[in-house]
Structure 1
Amino acid sequence: MRSSSADTSSAPPPADMSGGRNCSEPGLSSGPGPGPGPGPSGGRSIDPLRNLGVQEDEDVKQMLQGSSMVKVRSPRWQKKRMLKLKEDGVTVWCQSHKMSSWAKEQKSFNVMDVECIQEGCQSETLRRMAGSVPEDQCLTVVFKGSRKSLDLLCESQEEARHWVRGIHTLQERLKNMNQKDKLDHWIRTYLSKADQNHDNKMSYEEVQKLLQMINVDLSDQYARTLFQKCDQSADGHLDHEEIEIFCRELLRRPELDAIFIHYSANGCVLTTVDLRDFLKDQGEDSSLTHAQSLILTYELNEWAKRNQFMTPNGFTMYMLSRENSVFDPEHALVYQDMKHPLAHYFISSSHNTYLTKDQVTGNSSIEPYI
């Protein structure tokens, strides 16, 4: 298996990828190494908010305290909700106020699932209420994908601005994190969701719940074998470091392993020259400077990064990054000329997209096209 210790000073290449070669370069030894110091890999807990650099941000502080808002679906349907940012810095709880505790409805969303936030009465629902509600206290959270937008009425204009600015700040910080921090933050986010007894470890049952959350379908036999392989402490639970190994195993791609071995001079790491040769064959920028920048961006092992090597884990992170996506990331935003009348555009969607409910009695709206 690929042994990917969370210890950034000792992230060994997988034994089955070494081709029998000696992969005992400094920092890449197969044995456990000393902890690198602060951070989850070194045995200390890490504050996700501090890691994002937002622990002193006033907007984020307000989001952590929580805000009482009104969720609006129509002029007649308005319900109080408590919105609160969790300590992971990415999850927002939206809790309803119910009479019975067992009937309490809790829903959440990830700040990275937010497409945009519309301030004021811009949604169709809020436009119908314009004049009857303070427009500067209204906002609409528009989500990516098919999830319906969330129309909210805040208690004050300043509170609305806190949430708009706060979500934007968190999104920017998350986008600018390096690969190691992104992986660490991702693990902590899902660990908090799947860790039912809050012991910062995961049993096999909790790992199964994690796999369901991230839509990974594994046979029980393979999942249990992988769990036991990553349980280096043999205590029946995965700690943070072991969870990181487990998650990297899920990212493993045999076809990428084969490419790595083909271009690696020693089967253990890619030098800048090895990586340059790979880039040249792919028709990419094949300068040594570009190869070095890729190592600095995607390599997870600090020793390898300092010595300008790319390990199998770093290569996998690079190959699965947005930089190699089939989809042009620049097209994630509207880049066409949108100043013409709607009738001038071809809309690639179902002819029933405009329906918000059933076909016979459902209301029509342009919002599903957004």
Structure 2
Amino acid sequence: AEARKNPAGVAELAKKNSEDPGSAVQGGDLDFFGRGAMVKPFEDAAYALKVGEISNVVESDFGYHVIKLEAVRGGDKKPFEAVRASIEDEVRKQLATKKWAEVAEQFTNTVYEQADSLQPVLDKLKLSKRTATVQRTAAPGATGALASPKLLEAIFANDAVKNKRNTDAVEVGPNQLASAHVLQYQPARTLPLTEVRDAVRQRTAAAQAEAAARKDGEARLAQVKADPAAADLPNGLMVSRKGGEGLPREAVDAVLGADARKLPAVVGVALAGQGYLVARINAVLPRDLKPEEEQGLKAQLGQAWARAESEAYFDALKRRFKVDKKVKAPVSEQSAKP
């Protein structure tokens, strides 16, 4: 009723009242979508509207919806061969999105419902497992799931450590979910000097070297900032998220985070164990996406949207059935073997 009284205020209503984490911040905007992308009750209601119309309340597995149709595109008749490739790409994308959502839901449900072991989900989805000794913080050089702060936090939660239950499914990367099961837990303890003497010496030497490198690097950074054009720097590199020219992630982040409105820009960043980087950014070029890269990004966005809908659905179920899971992680530094 409020939406129909003030159609222009639908976005504000969505921001205030929507429980969908994926679209609420966008004022409920779902962007353009084709048939098969939404659950059937939602899709049927949306396709029955004319531009500018607002639907009645629509019920789906994800809750209740009020839909306003903002725009329609497509529908022009073209020869089949002219659109065949785009149709095939769209179908593949939709199938991949749907398949990912199904597998993600199966994974999430199985590790939660059969929480005494990871073996059921491994057998069901034909997945592989990794065994590793981890601490609360990621080890230097750790990659993938073992570098995820969210997963490490879940591993050291009481439910995993004391009750020996699987962690919840955790998103550890684009289109990547992981769960862990603690096999052995070692509380924090004070090691005797004989066990740590060499390690302490190495860490002390490394810390002193890093401090010296930082001091020299910051001095060089100040010098280059004072006169960027006159700075004598090595030959330039083209740096992007896709290809960092072998630079560490911290260096790529620092370079791409520079203010592109003030060029040349100069940034500096300490690189753990590798010294200090001073970089001068001479130009910022627009991203040149190939068609297949653009399609891949669209597929990732679609899959992220599917995950968000699944998470919203499970959150709604938890609220409806009053599920309240309280977890308090151990406060000291520990190691565990998931």
Q: What TM bracket, shorter-length normalisation? A: under 0.3
Q: TM-score, normalised by structure 1?
A: 0.21
- The one of the two structures with greater contact order (alpha-carbon pairs below 8 A, sep at least 6) is 2
Q: TM-score, normalised by structure 2?
A: 0.22
Rg comparison, structure with higher value: 2
